[in-house]
Amino acid sequence: MRKKWLVVGIILFISLNTCLILFDNDDHIDRLVFVDKWDKVFEEDLYEYLEKDSVFDYIHEHNVYFDELSGDFEQFLVEEGSKVSVGDALYTYDVRDIAEAKASLEEKAQQLKDDIVTVEAALTKINMTTVENDTISVLLPDEEQTVEIPQDTSEANMLKTQFIIEQEKELERLQARLAAVKADTASLDREEETITVTSPYDGTVIKISESLEPPLMTIAEPQLQARGILTEQDRMIVNLDMPVQLRLTAQNVTLDGTISAMNDQPEQVELEDSNHYSFFVETEALEQLDVPILPGYHADATITLKESLSASTIEASWLFDQSIWKMTSAGTVESQKVERGIQMGSSVEIIDEVEPGTWVAIDVSDQFQEGAQFITPLKLGKIKWHDIGQTGNWKRHVVAGLLAR
């Protein structure tokens, strides 16, 4: 009989205590946290990439037109694929009205002469300006001494030289075209009836319209760029100057470049379908490669949307409800809410004041309570046994073990 009461009494006692634990809202009871697995916040360079397909194509294409009214078309002097320079003959036609043709040539010649004058003037002016070697004098705070800081003029000089080179090239081009026009005029004077039209551009003839539909021909300048297509969602997140890496798998070549342009206009605005916007990638000089890059070559383009170098990083699995459980120097665990940044694979950037090297508990159970002291099991594997005798203060820890209850 008494035994029954004893058992009942014991059960009641334990139940009371259990209730005290479960309904401890004011933290009367010290809690512990058993942490079996933990790791540290580390530093990593994180990137967010967008993969797109791209293809190499000409940057500048120029159309050449033939005015039916100026004469009867005779023949093409180049083929599709022919390389032409400024002044090379493209096609010939029979002049219908010599006077009109001559007048038109005169007009062209005059225009060219005007252009040449402009360029020559620009060249003269730039040659006259010298880049000033300005030295800036700075008065020091003690108001006694002055420091002379010479301004670096090398960049200005470089720009000047570059400008001169471009203008000289343009001058050459214009002079070549003027010479061609003069030759045409000369042949008209000799009462020849056939005019030869020469190329105003350097490049490759990429299209010839045999049926004489305008444009008559298209000449593309040799510079290439890579272009691809962005979807509506992509277009919103890609910006100019984002770095792009192009991998030509068939040619085993990798190039670095940047987004040089993007179309604001889709090829054709669709309501029912998705809209596509072109993007263009400018790369380093293609001529310097061992492998010639031809138009039409495909490349996998990796656009770097975002980058964060030496970011505080954690594994995504360490996050519990937008927070991580930090282990503090006071020996307790603390939950810290963190803001997520770039995610690359399983690594997540945290944008918060959490220093790399902070301990984070990985295996979080219901037991975890804010401010509870943590205990960890002994991990023999991590001990370097030959150093064990040198542990500072080992006696203190042995005594701690002897005196704990």
Partner 1 sequence: MTYRANVFKVLFRMDDHLFRIKQAEKMHNIWLSMLWLIALSIGVYAIMASKGMGTTILSQGAVWLSAHEYEAVKFWFVIGRTGFGFIFAVCVIFIPSLILHYITKIPYQKLLYMQLVVLLLLLLERIIWIPLTLYAGLDWYASPLSLGLIASYLTDVSWVIYFFGAISLIQFGVIWFQMTFIKRLSTVNAHWIWTSIILLHLCQWALAATLASVDDNMLGRWFR
Q: Which amino acid is at 145?
A: Q
Least Cβ distance, residue 404 to partner 1 (angstroms): 4
Q: Is 313 exposed, middle or buried (0-12, 13-18, 19+ CB in 10 A)?
A: buried
Q: How far apart are CA 316 and CA 311, in angstroms?
A: 14
Nearer to partner 1, 296 or 377 (CB): 377
Least Cβ distance, residue 348 to partner 1 (angstroms): 21
Q: 314 forms bridges with which residues in the sheet?
A: 348
Nearer to partner 1, 31 or 160 (CB): 31
Nearer to partner 1, 294 or 399 (CB): 399
Beta strands across the sheet bearing 61-64:
61-64, 217-220, 203-208, 83-84
Q: How far apart are CA 323 and CA 119, in angstroms?
A: 66
Least Cβ distance, residue 44 to partner 1 (angstroms): 20
Nearer to partner 1, 157 or 367 (CB): 367
Residues that bind partner 1 (CB under 8 A): 10, 13-14, 16-18, 20-21, 28-34, 327-332, 358-359, 367, 369, 372-380, 382-384, 387-388, 391, 393-405
Least Cβ distance, residue 28 to partner 1 (angstroms): 5
The answer to whether the beta carbons of residues 199 and 180 sit under 8 Å apart is no
Least Cβ distance, residue 314 to partner 1 (angstroms): 16
SS3 content of the chain, % helix, strand, coil (to 5): 30, 35, 35
Nearer to partner 1, 323 or 369 (CB): 369
The answer to whether the beta carbons of residues 248 and 296 sit under 8 Å apart is no
Nearer to partner 1, 10 or 149 (CB): 10
Least Cβ distance, residue 321 to partner 1 (angstroms): 19
Identify the CA nearest to 161 among candidates 134, 131, 132. Answer: 131
